[in-house]
Amino acid sequence: MCGIISYCGNRQAIPILIDGLKRLEYRGYDSAGLSTVDKNKMVTIKTVGKVSQLENKTAGTRINSSFGIAHTRWATHGKPSETNAHPQTDCHNKISIVHNGIIENYLELKEELQNKGHQFKSQTDTEVIAHLIEDNYENDLEVAIIKSVERLVGTFGIAVIHTDYKHQIFIVKRGSPIIIGIGDNEFFAASDSNALAPYTHKMVYLSDDEIAVLNSNRFYIKNMKNEILEKKIEILDEDEYKMDKKGYEHYMLKEIFEQPESIKNAFRGRIILNEGVSKLGGLEPVLGRLKNIKKLIIVSCGTSYHAGLLGRYIFETLTELDIEIELASEFRYRRLKLNEDVAVLAISQSGETADTLAAIKEAKRKGALLLGIVNAVGTSIAQITDAGVYNHAGPEIGVASTKIYTSQLVIITLIALFIGRYQTVSFIEGSELLTALKKLPDQIKDILKNAKQIEKIALRYAHFKNFLYIGRLYNYPTAMEGALKLKEISYAHAEGYPAGEMKHGPISLIDENFPTIAIVPKDSTYDKMINNIQEIRARSGRILSITNDGEDKIKNISDDLILVPQTLSILQPILNIIPLQLFAYYIAKEKGCDVDKPRNLAKSVTVE
């Protein structure tokens, strides 16, 4: 859950490293640091806090070097401090390393190295790697790195430099993302292509247990058997990776307002309206097997888990499949029967989520068909799965996911329809669904036009410390996601609940200081939701209703009302989440929270 950037070329390294860290800061922002070699000496500069503080610390330094490594950290081992910040070095300050991931056997290795006389300075697991390389070094750094990596248990993306290896950077990947950028007589490595976009559009995605060696005029990639590999060069879509707030105060607000376009991108070229079917080229290679599956298990975490929860209802509505939804972090602990009749669908914004990766590796071992929904091309989940669908939503910089969530819901719907049309979904049903899907961007624009009204409502709730979100059927997951958005960025306590469970416990919390956000679409759950609201009002609870019904029945029992357009029940959650995202954003902004970089969180969760 950290960001790595490396540069080797003909330009001054530090400005490029700092710029790369700024573009990676959403992956971690507890501390930051960089290392380079100047006059045959390792120079390492580190600071607690955000990259801007590292930039200030390096300003005015007279370091002359055209290669280096840098890192922005989300702490796992050791609290945020300059000592625990990366890069980490060996005993003699000749080797410097940055690391994204987690070393599970670091205590065992640390004790072994300490017994050999190695002196440790930090509490990090990363420092073990630097000392292990030092211990294995016998005048060939590449061999020492390979020997060291063979001892490591866990996940890692690492970059290594050595004072005796001028203009060379050594990169290794296992489980954590590393991308090589190819420029003109210069090379880059980063944990996210966002960091490389200003400098090159040519990318090579490393696979697990591959080592890349960069210098100022060439690079090569090997496997751990010392065999040179030929890797495909991908061309980055420049428009997809522009990082610009475009006049918005925060990336999160910009990304909320980008949803009409990101949803269009999710279904663009994937709808055949006159056949009532979706076209998903990413699934066609496994179509024969996909037609014969009997069971689908969805695995995901966080916001993607909420997309999966709603996906369960969507697949049950449109297909004949047996559906299970599982938190990826719990998947490996269950005794599941997986075989060729089962497909496992992994949903991940980053494509690198460690728990989700572990889940699909377990599923692969047992013979299941592996499918994926990810936003970033070339990521680990995209490489491991048998087939999948990309979001094509562009970068999402705000740590709290917004546009990727709604994009995932659109793609889940398209996949369910893709399968369902081979089963019992009729042409008329498929055509009706796709027609409604195409209307969503304009309907979202209508919601966004009322952002100022939603802001006024949000400000009336900003002082409350506790919130209950309730919904039924398709909007039970919506309640959970709405609550997650509020707690992520405003630090208010919020719980999402199926409304029918409210009287089985949570209603005991309700009083005048515990407001409820009720999601009340005009569908089959409407009357039951009205009853739930009445129960809350009888206990002096304040009610904010999200609804597409402006009639007195709901108005008279709600303290505040946010109206959204109406669509098919199966798609209504895509519209209902928009005002909840705005509601959370405006409360967090009013409270002075760092909306894009909430405390203790990072965008890409690459540790379990």
Q: Return the pLDDT at 427.
A: 96
Burial class of residue 274, CB neighbours in 10 A (0-12, 13-18, 19+): exposed
Measured distance CA(205)–CA(176) in Å, rounded = 11
Q: Return the pLDDT at 28.
A: 65
Q: Return the pLDDT at 413.
A: 98
Region 215-224 average pLDDT: 90
3-state secondary structure of 83: coil
Give catalytic status of residue 603 as yes or no.
yes
Measured distance CA(499)–CA(511) in Å, rounded = 17
Least confident of 57-71, 89-103, 226-240: 226-240
User: Which residue bears the tokens 């398209």?
Assistant: 414
Q: Return the pLDDT at 373.
A: 94
**Residue 31 pLDDT more than 80?**
yes
Contact 417, 506 (CB under 8 A): no
Contact 306, 480 (CB under 8 A): yes
Contact 309, 300 (CB under 8 A): no
Encoded tokens for 551: 């009639």
Cβ-based neighbours of 452, under 8 Å, separated by 6 or more? none
Query: pLDDT by residue (tens digit) across 175-185?
Result: 788 999 999 88
Q: Return the pLDDT at 75.
A: 63
Query: pLDDT by residue (tens digit) across 323-336?
Result: 999 998 888 788 87
Q: How confident is the model at residue 575 (pLDDT cuts 50, 70, 90)?
A: very high
Least confident of 1-15, 19-33, 59-73, 543-557: 19-33
Cβ-based neighbours of 157, under 8 Å, separated by 6 or more? 4, 99, 100, 101, 171, 172, 173, 174, 175, 176, 177, 178, 191, 606
Contact 29, 74 (CB under 8 A): yes
**Residue 244 pLDDT more than 80?**
no
DSSP state of 120: P
Give catalytic status of residue 2 as yes or no.
yes
Domain ranges of the chain: 3-241, 251-447, 451-590
Q: Return the pLDDT at 78.
A: 62
Q: Which CATH code of 3.40.50.10490, 1.10.8.60, 3.10.450.50, 1.20.1250.20 fits the domain covering 251-447?
A: 3.40.50.10490
**Residue 293 pLDDT more than 90?**
yes
Taking each helix axis as running N to C, give the angle between helix 126-136 and helix 141-149, from 0 to 180 degrees, rounded to the nearest 10.
Answer: 130
Q: Return the pLDDT at 463.
A: 95
Region 22-47 average pLDDT: 87
Least confident of 132-136, 152-156, 265-269, 287-291: 152-156
Q: Which CATH superfamily is domain 451-590 in?
A: Glucose-6-phosphate isomerase like protein; domain 1 (3.40.50.10490)
Q: What is the mean pLDDT of the chain?
A: 90
User: Which residues face 45 on adjacent strands?
Assistant: 34
Backbone angles phi, psi at 166, to 5 degrees: -65, 140
**Residue 283 pLDDT more than 90?**
yes
Q: How confident is the model at residue 488 (pLDDT cuts 50, 70, 90)?
A: very high
Measured distance CA(56)–CA(47) in Å, rounded = 10
Do 251-447 and 451-590 agree at the fold level? Answer: yes
Region 471-496 average pLDDT: 96
Q: Return the pLDDT at 334.
A: 82
Region 43-65 average pLDDT: 88
Q: Which residue has the higher pLDDT, 72 or 76?
A: 72
User: Which residue bears the tokens 């572990």?
Assistant: 358
Q: Return the pLDDT at 76.
A: 65
Q: Return the pLDDT at 602.
A: 59
Query: pLDDT by residue (tens digit) across 576-592?
Result: 999 999 999 999 999 99
Assess if CATH 3.40.309.10 describes domain 3-241: no
Active-site residue, selected from the candidate residues 46, 403, 485, 603: 603
Burial class of residue 476, CB neighbours in 10 A (0-12, 13-18, 19+): buried
**Residue 419 pLDDT more than 60?**
yes
Query: pLDDT by residue (tens digit) across 339-397?
Result: 889 999 999 988 777 888 888 888 888 889 999 999 877 778 888 899 999 898 888 88
Measured distance CA(33)–CA(18) in Å, rounded = 9
**Residue 203 pLDDT more than 80?**
yes
Strand bridging mode 543-547 / 560-563: parallel
**Residue 2 pLDDT more than 80?**
no
**Residue 65 pLDDT more than 70?**
yes
Q: Which helix (H) or strand (E) holds 130?
A: helix 126-136
Active-site residue, selected from the candidate residues 2, 8, 301, 593: 2
Q: Return the pLDDT at 7.
A: 96
Contact 282, 339 (CB under 8 A): no
Contact 398, 26 (CB under 8 A): yes
pTM over 0.85: no
Q: Which helix (H) or strand (E) holds 12?
A: none
User: Which residues face 564 on adjacent strands?
Assistant: none
Contact 574, 487 (CB under 8 A): no
Q: How confident is the model at residue 239 (pLDDT cuts 50, 70, 90)?
A: low
Contact 331, 299 (CB under 8 A): yes
Q: How confident is the model at residue 52 (pLDDT cuts 50, 70, 90)?
A: confident
Measured distance CA(320)–CA(27) in Å, rounded = 39
Region 271-289 average pLDDT: 93
